[in-house]
Amino acid sequence: MLRVRDFMTRDVVTLGPEASAKEAWALCREHEIRHIPIVEDGRLVGLVSDRDLRDVSPGRGDREAATLQWVGLNEMMVRDLETIHPLDTVEHAAREIHDRKIGCLPVVADGELVGIITSQDMLRTLVELIGGGGAGTWIEVEVPNEPGQLANLTDVMRDQKVNIGGVFLGPASRETYRTITLRLETTNPSAALKSLEAANYKVTTVESSAPTGGPYEG
């Protein structure tokens, strides 16, 4: 089970409600972050984003600096926050961020801030789960929508001694079929493809996921 605690940022940059917008903006730029939780006596009381800070800024130059200096975070922070627990699933966090159209979720346990998980963390998690950091090959196989088809495909890959780095299921063009997408940890899937064809499987797409990208040619 993928838990929020395994993907959240633990070293969270925070400020107190008495801090100024200028201080918050400086931290955003220094740490290259977009959200700053506001904490008072160890408890989460609000959140400010870089968008909030831009909204209170009238423009560039000395006037901007003066305005940010005098605007307190307690005047502008969002207080009614959606939070998540570190033992919640990453799927739940992703759904909350997507459905609520927000950029992050503070992670709270026993009333205290223990981390933050952002939309960027979600993208990083997706890349890690699909093995996007390394070379490999994506193949799409159209199979009957019947139990046991995934196990049969993995048996073929096992016989070819090819590791599977990721599996995704989706609809197919035919009503009684479905598509199983496998990420193979090889850049030369020729033998695996021949074995699938010999087993009467229809491979609809083959594409390299090497850093240079591009379709497989074999």
DSSP secondary structure string for all residues of 135-193? --EEEEEEEESSTTHHHHHHHHHHHTT--EEEEEEEE-SSTTEEEEEEEES-S--HHHH
Rg (CA), the chain: 24
Q: How confident is the model at residue 70 (pLDDT cuts 50, 70, 90)?
A: confident
Find the domain containing 91 and state its range: 4-127
Reply yes or no on whether the pLDDT at 180 is more than 90: yes
The residues pairing with 106 across neighbouring beta strands, listed in sequence order, are: 116
User: How confident is the model at residue 213, as a pLDDT?
Assistant: 43
CATH number for 144: 3.30.70.260
- Both 102 and 198 in a single domain? no
The pLDDT of residue 218: 37
Q: Please give the model's pTM, rounded to 2 decimal places.
A: 0.71
Same domain, 27 and 100: yes
Kindly state whether residues 105 and 16 are assigned to the same domain.
yes
Domain count, the chain: 2
Domain match, 153 and 121 both: no
Residue 156 has pLDDT above 70, yes or no: yes
Higher pLDDT, 132 or 186: 186
User: Which of 76-80, 120-124, 212-216 shows the highest mean pLDDT?
Assistant: 76-80
Mean pLDDT, to the nearest integer, of 108-137? 86
**Both 149 and 78 in a single domain?**
no
> 166 and 81 in one domain?
no
* Residue 91 sits in the same domain as residue 49: yes
- Name the more confident of 41 and 127: 41
pLDDT score recorded for residue 90: 93
